Amino acid sequence: MNKILFFAHLRDEAGEESVMLEASGKTVAELKAFVAENYGIHKLDTAMAAINEEFAPNEEMIKEGDVIAFIPPVSGG
């Protein structure tokens, strides 16, 4: 199983701080698509992803037990 954490407004959209999912074997891009569809999150494609607190590119493969965080870049200033 994998823990998926949402940050900033993604958390409001998901309605939860985190969810548990079976994501091992998926790439980051595939997980983004899956989560966007199943949890009704818009604009997840432009969010940054971290695996175990380290930046992960879209092609990266997720392993069993990895913790994935989605952090949306924000623009205000």
Partner 1 sequence: MSDRYSRQTLFPRIGREGQDKIKSKHVLIVGAGALGSGNAEVLARAGIGRLTIIDRDYVEESNLQRQQLYTEEDVAEKLPKAAAAKMRLEKINSEVEIEALIGDATPEVMAGLIGDVDLMIDSTDNFETRMAINDISQKYRIPWIYGACVASFGMSFTIVPGVTPCLNCLLKAVPLQGLTCDTGGIIGPAVQMVIAHQTAEALKILVEDFDAVRPSLVSFDLWRNDYTSMKMSRAKDPGCLSCGQNPEYPYLNEANRMKTAVLCGRDTVQIRPPHASTVDLQEMSGNLSALGYEVKGNPYLLSAEMSENRFVIFRDGRALIHGTKDVAQAKSLYQRLFG
- Tokens representing 53 are 């607190």
Which of these segments, 20-28, 33-41, 54-62, binds partner 1 (CB under 8 A)?
A: 54-62
- Closer residue to partner 1 (CB): 22 or 58: 58
CA–CA dist 62, 70 (Å, integer):
14
∠ CA(29), CA(35), CA(38), 5° rounding? 140
Q: Is 20 in the site for partner 1 (CB under 8 A)?
A: no
Give the position of tokens 């205000």: 76
- Closer residue to partner 1 (CB): 12 or 64: 12
- Closer residue to partner 1 (CB): 35 or 60: 60
CA–CA dist 40, 34 (Å, integer):
10
- Name the residues that contact partner 1, by CB under 8 A: 7-9, 11-12, 17, 42-43, 46, 48, 50, 53-57, 69, 71-77
